[in-house]
Amino acid sequence: MTDVGPITLRELAEIDVGRLKGVGDKKRGALASVGVDTVLDLLMTYPRRWVDRTNEARVADLVAGQEALVLVEVRSATKRVGRNRRTIVEAVVGDGTGRLHVVFFNQPWRERQLQPGLNVALFGKVDVYRGGLQMTNPIVDLIGDRTGRIVPIYPQSEKAQLTTWEIAGWVENALERCRARGIADPVPAAVTDRLGLVDRQAALATIHLPETIGAKERARRRLAFDELLRVQLALVMRKRALERDAVGVRHTVDGVLVDRFHAALPFSLTGAQRRVIDEIAVDLAAAHPMHRLLQGDVGAGKTVVAVTALLAAVQGGDQGALMAPTEVLAEQHHASVTAMLAGIEVPAGETSLFGERPLRVELLTNRVTGNERKRILAALAIGDVDVVIGTHALIQEAVAFQRLGVVVVDEQHRFGVEQRAALRAKAGGTVPDVLVMTATPIPRTAAMTVYGDLDVSVLDEMPPGRTPIVTRWAAGPLLEAEAWAAVRAEVAAGRQAYVVCPLIEESEKLEVASAEATYERLQADELAGLRLGLLHGRMATSDKDATMDRFRRGELDVLVATTVIEVGVDVPNTTVMVILDADRFGIAQLHQLRGRVGRGAHESQCWLVTKPSDDPTVADAANPRLEALVASADGFHLAEVDLDLRGAGTLMSSAQKGRSDLRLASLRRDRELVGLARDAAFEIVDADPVLAHHPGLLDELRLLLTDEDTEFLTRS
Ligand code: ADP
Ligand code: MG
């Protein structure tokens, strides 16, 4: 360890917290039990609250039954011996807004400690006693020597016997000992100056011991920025490395094929479609491979965008591939894309002796077998097929392309690192441009953080003329009966319905059993007389297909299904969806499910059914998730609500736990800062791709992001 220059975080991470004054073996063990082993861990244990003694923590604001902290002056303290010979010290304290009675059992020394006029902080539960407020055995901290206006409150652990006062003391001691050398600030001054960020040492000191709430806010902003910058640096380095190392295809973006396709559409593109197509065109024309995520709510019109990208490949003499997560979806895409492209001719290439020829689109799934399969494979290999549509098997199996230029992947969550590697191998040498589409909107800041090595385009405008889905929350049997009545009414009017069975995350077997039971019950009672079909994940593929086909042809009125219908099933005649035990699903999933209706010309309904609580003491609780769904059909808005309700932690997955957790930064609260951190990361990495001139930053990345985290963050 060097003694010159400011102390780096890496050095702080090497100093055991046991070396601080007042941390003996017992406390060392207590700290370890809450994950604090080093001085760095301690300094990154930020207060969870700051009490401004001039505004908060006043006696007048105390509420019986709640834990609270008050900063008060001792008025009097007296000692007596109670029953069982217990000593009781009774004190009266006040702060100019009111008086509080405090009792201590078996703490005789309190009488001497609590001299009238002394300033103390009391932390404890407030009770009502003889008509007044009282605290019993509160935690007492003498704050006579702490003159700041703001008192930090640390996360304390009763189990580990750690008080906020102890932590504050150790933190102070640690900061004191860093003062002589100072704490290094590896973030370039150009960045911190431009963004008006305070320096890191000041920020660390201030977050723990702020003079004012404003100063604390500035410190928090700086430290939150650092957290976000670390994440963004890792992602941006990864992104730039991919771009540097991979050779892509420069596509012809201004060609007649794309123009012909757009001219043949029965509608004009939405503004959002136009914008996203332009964003993609820039990537396609560039020398490095595209890696772009396209987010668009269900029904936003992603298919047109996807086909545009595929045709850009075709008009330059390359091939395009569209991959869907399931065979059923691949077939649906094939049907709709073929219809969209009917009659469109490929212009003759410069080298071609022939004139125009029809565009050739083929379907390749595991259900395409025998000679048909051989024929398609051969045609793909010599470049006779322009666009192939299939499942992921397309890139995993021995499918050879003549020249694969653009790949569109529908539904990002099933497209992992391995598939990307397979793609690279497939293309041999050049890497095709990849567009990953998802119908699960995630908030912009989260997209930048979780998919930060991808570029992101957002289709945030619905095509005109949609009839909105009316969503209702049916809490309890009376409203549930209305839902079944609605199903019967729609079926009577010639429409169809989905019933989604309860999600049972713990076991697919239980889920299937429950779906079967629901099917039996509905068939016997609520929906007796209607033609019901059952669909679940444990059925043989051929049975599933047969059921789907019957439903699609209108031979079934109601499809009772598990969440297997979540993705892609598209039967426009279906106008009602009933989701049972809707409170078991997350916002995003409910929104996805709901997107299966409202696809035709008729007005659609979605019923979210919940049971009344089994627990009679719980009133039919408000459910903000279901309320959000009733109130909004906008997937992006719902994603933001979801982020608000769940916090960012869940989004970042459990792989993110530990040091790399965003401790101060919040993807919700710090939306602006996420973007600034991302811009700064680009600025730094583009000037210095491997951070050769920023060894401190590189160290921090190694220190704060485990390999697992980095891997997680860079997975697409
Ligand atoms: P997504 O895949 O985003 O869920 P689709 O691409 O399947 O949505 O489009 C949903 C429907 O909207 C399709 O029937 C499509 O033809 C239609 N559509 C797409 N773009 C437009 C547009 N600009 N104007 C009118 N209808 C459109
Ligand atoms: Mg789609």
The 3-class SS string of 322-343 reads: EEECCHHHHHHHHHHHHHHHCC
Residue 267 Cβ < 6 Å to ligand 1 = yes
Residue 393 Cβ < 6 Å to ligand 1 = no
pLDDT for the residue numbered 652: 44
Phi then psi for residue 550, to 5 deg, are -65, -40
Residue that has been written with the tokens 């005649």 in this structure: 573
Does residue 136 sit in helix, strand or coil? Answer: strand
Q: What Cα–Cα distance (Å) separates residue 613 from each residue in 500, 502, 610, 617, 623? A: 20, 16, 9, 9, 12
Distance 269 CA to ligand 1 centre (A): 9
Distance 462 CA to ligand 1 centre (A): 8
pLDDT for the residue numbered 411: 73
Distance CA 360, CA 365 (A): 16
What is the number of helices (H) and of strands (E) in the chain?
26, 23
pLDDT digit string (tens) for 353-367? 567 888 999 999 888
With residue 119 as reference, give the H or E element that holds it. Answer: strand 119-129
Q: What percent of the chain lies above the pLDDT cut of 90?
A: 44
Distance 427 CA to ligand 2 centre (A): 26
pLDDT for the residue numbered 196: 95
pLDDT for the residue numbered 158: 59
pLDDT for the residue numbered 396: 66
pLDDT digit string (tens) for 6-49? 999 999 999 999 999 889 999 999 999 988 999 999 999 998 87
Count of CB atoms situated within 10 Å of the CB of 61 = 12
Distance 439 CA to ligand 2 centre (A): 8
pLDDT digit string (tens) for 225-239? 999 998 889 888 888
Q: What is the pTM of this model?
A: 0.69
Q: Which ligand is nearest to the CA of 301?
A: 1
pLDDT digit string (tens) for 282-301? 999 988 888 898 988 878 89
Return the top range by mean pLDDT from 139-143, 365-369, 397-401, 404-408. Answer: 404-408
Query: In this structure, what token pair is assigned to residue 529?
Result: 């007389």
With residue 576 as reference, give the H or E element that holds it. Answer: strand 574-579
Residue 439 Cβ < 6 Å to ligand 1 = yes
Q: Looking at the CA of residue 410, tell me the nearest atom of ligand 1.
A: 2
Q: How does DSSP assign 42-96, residue by residue?
A: HHT---SEEEETTTSS-GGG--TTSEEEEEEEEEEEEEEE-GGG-EEEEEEEE-S
Distance 392 CA to ligand 1 centre (A): 23
pLDDT for the residue numbered 657: 35
Nearest CA owner, ligand 1 atom 24: 463
Query: Please, which residues have CB within 8 angstroms of residue 711's CB and are 6 or more apart in sequence?
Result: 417
Residue 598 Cβ < 6 Å to ligand 1 = no
Residue 656 has pLDDT above 70, yes or no: no
Q: What is the mean pLDDT of residues 150-159?
A: 74
Distance 267 CA to ligand 1 centre (A): 9
Q: Looking at the CA of residue 305, tell me the nearest atom of ligand 1.
A: 6
Residue that has been written with the tokens 């396609």 in this structure: 284
Residue 304 Cβ < 6 Å to ligand 1 = yes
Q: Looking at the CA of residue 273, tell me the nearest atom of ligand 1.
A: 23
Residue 269 Cβ < 6 Å to ligand 1 = yes
Count of CB atoms situated within 10 Å of the CB of 139 = 14
- CA 601 to centroid of chain Cα atoms: 33
Does residue 548 sit in helix, strand or coil? Answer: helix
Of 269, 303, 322, best ligand 1 pocket probe by most atoms within 8 Å of the beta carbon: 303
Residue 346 has pLDDT above 80, yes or no: yes
pLDDT digit string (tens) for 661-713? 578 887 778 888 999 999 999 999 999 988 888 888 888 887 776 555 555 44
Residue 322 Cβ < 6 Å to ligand 1 = no
Distance 298 CA to ligand 2 centre (A): 7
Contact 370, 351 (CB under 8 A): no
- Give the CB-side neighbour count of residue 347, counting CA atoms within 13 A: 13
Q: Looking at the CA of residue 298, tell me the nearest atom of ligand 1.
A: 4
pLDDT for the residue numbered 54: 62
| pLDDT bracket for residue 565 (50, 70, 90) | low
pLDDT for the residue numbered 602: 86
Distance 300 CA to ligand 1 centre (A): 6
| pLDDT bracket for residue 202 (50, 70, 90) | very high
Distance 570 CA to ligand 2 centre (A): 9
pLDDT digit string (tens) for 57-109? 788 888 888 888 888 899 999 999 988 888 999 999 998 889 999 999 988 98
Residue 207 has pLDDT above 70, yes or no: yes
- CA 196 to centroid of chain Cα atoms: 29
pLDDT digit string (tens) for 367-381? 888 999 999 999 999
